[in-house]
């Protein structure tokens, strides 16, 4: 097992150059090191100008998503040892504009997330005197999977539709909408339906399934989207067949 490995890292310094370049660094490769450890070694010992995001280093904050050897990965959860001696290609996350080096702008997602209202929407709040909203374990199981999303954006990097059409609302946003739609305490399904049933909403998805493949938290956004397509389609049919004369 080699004890050093080469990292081929994308550099983009907009104040100096118009295009991205690749810079190679050789870092130690102890068995337990992940790609993020390699990048931190570069920053600490080899090249302090390298820019990238990271935080918790344990797969829960969602900051360190990058493209490693062509695949969207959390660099804190990807071991260097699995690349058989390297070299390992580290690029910024796909489908997002690159600000600098490995740092991308995810402002587009943040806007879309707000649009789907990822919070409990209630027609009326229960007064505090009536106590808390109670939920059985089965009711929580309905949406628990979709609540695991850490907003790491790997699914957007893998989504071909998002790559082709940046107006597509995207896997994580829909999965998070579903997390609330399927929560028994929520009453906002109708409001979310309006946003999601636009063409840039769920209907742009062609169920490639890559989003589910790359999700580090097993959220299965593809499943969430397909389930929602059925729900939305049936709602549309119902509204057509039994139009409500103004709620």
* Residues of the shown chain interacting with other proteins in the complex, contacts defined by CB under 8 A: 12, 14-15, 18-20, 70, 94, 97-99, 105, 138, 141, 160-161, 163-165, 197, 199, 203, 206-210, 212-213, 220, 222-223, 226-227, 229-230, 232-233, 236-237
In the complex, the smallest distance separating the C-beta of residue 140 from other proteins, rounded to whole angstroms, is 13
Rounded to a whole number of angstroms, the minimum distance from the CB of residue 2 to other proteins is 27
76 vs 219, beta carbon nearer other proteins: 219
Residue placing its CB nearer to other proteins in the complex, 2 or 99: 99
> Least distance from C-beta 45 to other proteins, angstroms?
27
CB 80 within 8 A of CB 170: no
CA pair distance 172, 179, nearest whole angstrom: 10
Count Cα atoms within 13 angstroms, Cβ side, for 9: 30
Comparison of 30 and 191: residue with beta carbon closer to other proteins: 191
By beta-carbon proximity to other proteins, the closer residue of 30 and 49 is: 49
Residue placing its CB nearer to other proteins in the complex, 74 or 232:
232
What number of other Cβ atoms are within 10 A of residue 180's Cβ?
Answer: 22
Give 28 or 163: the residue with its C-beta nearer to other proteins: 163
Q: With CA atoms as reference, report the closest residue to 64 among 178, 207, 216.
A: 216
What is the 3-state secondary structure of the chain? Answer: CCCEEEEEEEECCCCCCCCCEEEEEEEECCCCCEHHHHHHHHHHHHCCCCCCCCCCCCCCCCCCEEEECCEEEEHHHCEHHHHCCCCEEEECCCCCCEEECCEECCHHHHHHHHHCCCCCCCCCCCCHHHCCCCCCHHHHHHHHHHHHCCCCCHHHHHCHHHHHCCCCCCHHHHHHHHHHHCCCCCCCHHHHHHHHCCCCCHHHCCCCCHHHHHCCCCCCHHHHHHHHHHHHHHHHHHHHHCCCCCC
Q: Which is nearer to other proteins, 37 or 220 (CB)?
A: 220
Least distance in Å: CB of 165 to other proteins? 7
State the nearest-atom distance from the C-beta of 124 to other proteins, in Å. 26
CB of 48 to other proteins, least distance (A): 20
Distance in Å, CB of 129 to other proteins, minimum: 30
């Amino acid at each position: 097992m080699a004890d050093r490995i080469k990292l081929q890292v994308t550099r983009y310094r907009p104040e100096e150059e118009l295009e991205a370049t690749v810079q190679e660094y050789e870092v130690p490769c102890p068995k337990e090191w992940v790609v993020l450890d390699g990048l931190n070694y570069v920053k600490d010992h080899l090249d302090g100008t390298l820019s990238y995001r990271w935080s918790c280093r344990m797969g829960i904050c969602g900051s360190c998503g990058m493209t490693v050897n062509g695949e969207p990965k959390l660099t804190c959860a990807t071991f260097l040892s699995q690349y058989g001696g390297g070299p390992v290609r580290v690029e910024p996350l796909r489908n997002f504009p690159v600000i600098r080096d490995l740092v991308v702008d995810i402002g587009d997602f943040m806007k879309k997330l707000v649009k789907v209202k990822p919070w409990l929407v209630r027609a009326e709040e229960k007064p505090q005197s009536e106590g808390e909203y109670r939920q059985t374990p089965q009711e929580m199981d309905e949406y628990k999977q979709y609540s695991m999303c850490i907003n790491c954006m790997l699914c957007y990097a893998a989504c071909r539709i998002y790559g082709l059409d940046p107006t597509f609302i995207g896997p994580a946003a829909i999965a998070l909408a579903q997390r609330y739609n399927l929560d028994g305490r929520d009453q906002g399904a109708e409001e979310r339906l309006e946003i999601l049933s636009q063409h840039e909403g769920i209907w742009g998805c062609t169920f490639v399934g890559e989003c589910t493949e790359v999700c580090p938290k097993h959220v299965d956004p593809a499943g969430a989207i397909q389930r929602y397509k059925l729900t939305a389609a049936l709602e549309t049919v119902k509204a057509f067949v039994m139009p409500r004369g103004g709620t």
